[in-house]
Amino acid sequence: MKFGRKGFMMAEVVVVSVVIAVVLITLFTGLNRVSSAYEKRDRYYDIDALYLAMMANDALIENGYINTIIKTGNSIKINNDDVNQLLNTYNNDDVNLYFSLYKKGKIDELKGLSTTKETTKEFIDYLGTKFYFNDDYNYVIISEICKNDDDCYYYALKVR
């Protein structure tokens, strides 16, 4: 009778090992998904980039430059002198501002600019999936703050 119990112990060890392995794999998968979503949120909704976009919008409105940009209807990289004073406050960072009307085709035009980085193109693709273009917004100001070439943070400020 003692010989039959050894097989039961081996089966019990295998079953418990499989259950523990499944639980650990499930936990890893869930945590990995949450971690990658948090990293994307951290890069694409950066607070410093938000404040930069808001200050740029205020500066463009105060100086009347925003009306000129809207009338042209082009998607552009903003290089105005008034905004350059803002950009100089970010001493060691590569800072860029982009303007586009709030239309899918217009935002996609930003990818065609010669100065657009690959990470910026990925962000614009991301916006295409997250924006609901039937909303009542007039234009978008996209701010980009890069610590180095591949460490960039973004924000897209939708304005009515």
Q: Tens digits of per-residue pLDDT, 106-133? A: 777 777 776 667 888 888 888 878 777 7
* Residue 33 and residue 51 in one domain: no
- Give the domain extent around 62: 46-159
Task: Give dist(CA 83, CA 60) in Å, integer.
Answer: 7
* Residue 51 and residue 36 in one domain: no
Closest CA to 94 of 115, 123, 68: 115
Q: pTM (2 decimals)?
A: 0.69
* Residue 153 and residue 84 in one domain: yes
* Residue 60 and residue 3 in one domain: no
Greatest mean pLDDT range, 38-42, 66-70, 111-115, 136-140 = 136-140
Task: Give dist(CA 74, CA 57) in Å, integer.
Answer: 16
Q: How many domains does the chain have?
A: 2
* Residue 71 and residue 94 in one domain: yes
